[in-house]
Structures are given as C-alpha cells and as structure tokens.
Structure 1
Amino acid sequence: MFQVGDKIVYPLHGAGVIEAIEEKEILGKKQRYYIIHMSLGNVQIMIPAAKIDDMGLRHIVDPDTMEDVLLLFNDDPSSASGSWNQRFRMNLDKMKTGDIYKTTEVIRDLTQISKEKALGTGEKKLLDNAKQILISELVLVKGIEEEQATRLLNEAAHC
C-alpha cells in the first residue's frame, strides 16, 4: 500500500506524488482512490486503490539507482532487428512494465535508430513519451526543475 506523500511512478504516464487517498462514489459505486499529482504538467489523476497492483505502480528509484540508469546510455543499443511495428510493440511492452531500466533502453535504442534514419510517427511518439516518463522521475529523484532534468537526460543520452 502507498501513503500520502509517497513519490510513485505510473507506467506510461510518469512520476507523481500521492496527494490524498479518498473514498468517492463514481457510477453508483464507492471506492477508495489515490489522488496523484503528476510531476510534469499540472495534472492530477485518480487511480482506484483496488487496481493499484494491476497498474504496476511503484515507488520512485533512489538517487544511486538513478545514476546507474543514466549510465545505461553508455551501453551499446539492443539490436534493432525486425520491422518497425515489431520494434514498436516490443518497446511499448518494455514501457508497460514500469521498469526504469527498460524505459531507458527504449530511449537509448530509439535515439540511436533516429541518428541513422528517421523514426516513424509511432516510434517518435513512443520516444517522446519514454523521455517524459524518465524526466518526470528525474525531477522527483533529484529535486530539480523539468528544464534541468531535460538537460541532464539529453546529456546522458547524447541527444
């Protein structure tokens, strides 16, 4: 269970802080909801407490783990075999796990491919989304502004 004030990551959406846990009646059904303020944009989302495990929410990583994650950009990219849609599905599946290392691999691999040839619209959006997710977690882990986190990511990823 998560508590108010916990910093969490919601796969495919990014990092945020749990502001409240409230009971609400929606469509005639009372449920407990986590009210989460996302670190990027001025967005607040509600997630049913009963579905937390299914959604893959996790606590943000510690600063040492984040340093290890940023070093992953120095590793060789994964092989880009297969068609773009196979690659897209594989990368989307990686991101759905919520694993910060897998999200970083997606950024690293798609950034490398984009240096060799233009990415399709779907892969461009996936790359942008993966970057935003990592930036949102960097903001909370390091206690920095979005612009600083973006710069840090771009330096690490050699963008």
Structure 2
Amino acid sequence: MTTRNNKLPFKIGEAVVYPSHGVGEITAIEEQEVAGFMLELFVITFDKDRLTVRVPLAKAKSSGLRKVSEPDVVTLALQILADKAKAKRGMWNRRSNDFQERIGTGQLTAIAEVLRDLNRGSEQQEASYSEQQIFEGALDLMIREVAAASRLTQTEARKLIEQSMAKAPHLNSALPVA
C-alpha cells in the first residue's frame, strides 16, 4: 500500500475513540475502491458491539476519530462527575437533544457533563426510560474510555466513575433545614 503521508495519526493496534461507537482498535489500514476512487481507510474494530467501521484517512479528523484521552483529561472528567448537576429547565426533548449532541462529540469531558447532569444518585431508578437510556449509554462510553486510558478493567473503571458520581451533591439532597 502506498500512503502519501507516512506520518499517520494512528497506528495499527492503537486504541482510538470514534464518537458514535466509543473505544475501538485500529486493526488495519487498507485501500478500497469506492465510487471509482481509491481510498485509504482505517479499519476500526469494536469488540463490545462486534462491529467494524472503515474511516477514510482523509476524513479521520473531521469524523471525530481521536486518540484515547490522556490521564489529565480522565482526571478532569472524574472531577466533573463529582460536581453539582446543572439543573436544566425546559422541555425534555430539547434537553435530550442537548445531551445527545454532547455525547456525539465523543469528548470524555462532554460525556462526563451528561452523566453529572443526569445523575440522580440513589434515586437513579426513578428516572424516565429515555433519561435512563441516555445515562446508561453515556456511562458505557465513559467506562470504556476510562478503562482504555487508565489501563484498568471495565469493572475497575466503573467503580472509579461511580465513586466520583457518589461525591456529587444531588439536587434532591442537602436541602437547608429551616
């Protein structure tokens, strides 16, 4: 294969984050003819979903494909989880769209903000079905990236994330007593 640019942003075997699917691994770089054009593609495998995605090298950056977060970004994301949730008012569909957009960026800190804002602590089961779905999806993405970035198992990463979320002051709790 001939790569015009010998300085590729990713290597085979490297863990990467693709916004809509989370953490995957670059398993190959291949050429493929698409609509009469030869394209060089990153082949990314997501074991959890048993999914393979091909991303053109030329579109890698604009697609949001990126390296797994550095330790300082993981630390910042865990700190965000421990902050007080930003109470949002307004219609659920607008808030839901905002949460989905933030998750769609694929940025660990944005995903942490969604978790923080949807975190209800011990009352998490009382969340609506759609709230719970968004929360679980964001949690799964964060667990996989924290595990990959920190070289932890997903169970260890979940525990770390849950510990951070448990530190957060909840909107329902700590009401001043008159």
TM interval, shorter chain, is: 0.7 to 0.9
Letter in 2 for 1:59: K
Tell me if 1:123 matches 2:123: no
User: Pairwise mapping of residues 6-155 of structure 1 onto structure 2 (< 5 A)?
Assistant: 6-25=14-33, 30-38=38-46, 40-112=48-120, 115=123, 118-155=126-163
Cα drift, residue 120 of structure 1: 2.9
Gaps of 5+ in 1: none
Q: Which moved further from structure 2: 114-123 or 140-149? A: 114-123
Measured in 2, the distance between the counterparts of 1:120 and 1:26 equals: 43
Measured in 2, the distance between the counterparts of 1:153 and 1:127 equals: 13
TM-score (normalised: structure 1): 0.84
**Aligned CA-pair RMSD:** 2.5
Q: Which has the higher helix share?
A: 1
Contact conserved, 1:113 with 1:119, CA < 8 A, in 2?
no
Aligned length: 159
Measured in 2, the distance between the counterparts of 1:25 and 1:138 equals: 36
Residue 135 and residue 116 in structure 1: after superposition, are their counterparts in 2 closer, same or farther (change >3 A)? closer
Once the two structures are superposed, what CA deviation does each residue of 1:50-71 show, in whole Å capped at 9, x if it has no partner? 3223311121111232122111
Percent of pairs identical after alignment?
A: 28
Greater RCO (CA < 8 Å, at least 6 residues apart): 1
Residue 47 and residue 114 in structure 1: after superposition, are their counterparts in 2 closer, same or farther (change >3 A)? farther
Once the two structures are superposed, what CA deviation does each residue of 1:25-44 show, in whole Å capped at 9, x if it has no partner? 45665422211133645443
Cα drift, residue 136 of structure 1: 1.0
Measured in 2, the distance between the counterparts of 1:110 and 1:10 equals: 23
- Structure possessing the higher radius of gyration over alpha carbons: 2
Measured in 2, the distance between the counterparts of 1:125 and 1:99 equals: 19
Residue 122 and residue 19 in structure 1: after superposition, are their counterparts in 2 closer, same or farther (change >3 A)? same
TM-score (normalised: structure 2): 0.76
